[in-house]
Every structure is written in C-alpha cells, then in structure tokens.
Amino acid sequence: MTLSFLPLAGGLLLLLIAASALVRGAAALALRFGLSPLVVGLTVVAFGTSAPELVVSVQATRSGAGGIAAGNVVGSTIAWGSPSRSSR
C-alpha cells in the first residue's frame, strides 16, 4: 500500500522542482532582455503552464479520442471563468 504512494510523492516533488525552475528561468529571461517581469509572466510562464494541456489535447485528437480534447477545453474554461463572466 505504501509503495503505491511513492509515484505520487515523486511526481509532486518533480512538479515543485520544475515549477521553481520555470519561475527562476522566466525571471532570468526578463533580466537578460530588460523586460518587465509582468510581460514575461504573461507570456513565457503562461505558455509554460498551458503547454501540457496542449500536448494532451493534440495526442487525444490524434488517437481518435476527441472527447478528451473537448473536455480539456471545457475544464480549462470552467477553471478560469467563462468568457461571459469575465467580460462583466
């Protein structure tokens, strides 16, 4: 039973390390090019956090599971607020 939690714990550890590396890299990129950290945050970090969803959707569509791709889009819309709610 305990061994089944090891992959989960390892995945969470890798997630923390990768997220930290993403933020440090984005900050270094901003400094290197003289950009505002806000600009880098809105572009590089936003793409980095959306890339896994893009990969999952593309793979699902290519394998014929379009429902997963559609669910991914719907889930993202629900999580971040629907366009009609954000325009108010």
For 69-78, what is each residue's pLDDT tens digit?
A: 888 877 766 6
Cβ atoms of 21 and 28 closer than 8 Å: no
The label of the residue with tokens 């956090």 reads 49
Cα–Cα dist 19/49, whole Å: 9
Query: Mean pLDDT lowest for which of 4-8, 19-23, 51-55, 82-86?
Result: 82-86
Q: Which two tokens stand for residue 30?
A: 């901003």
Tokens read off for 36: 């505002």
Tell me which residue range forms the domain holding 43.
2-86
Q: Pick from 59, 58, 28, 57: which is nearest to 44 by CA? A: 28
Tell me, what's the pLDDT at 77?
Answer: 65
Query: How many structural domains is the chain composed of?
Result: 1
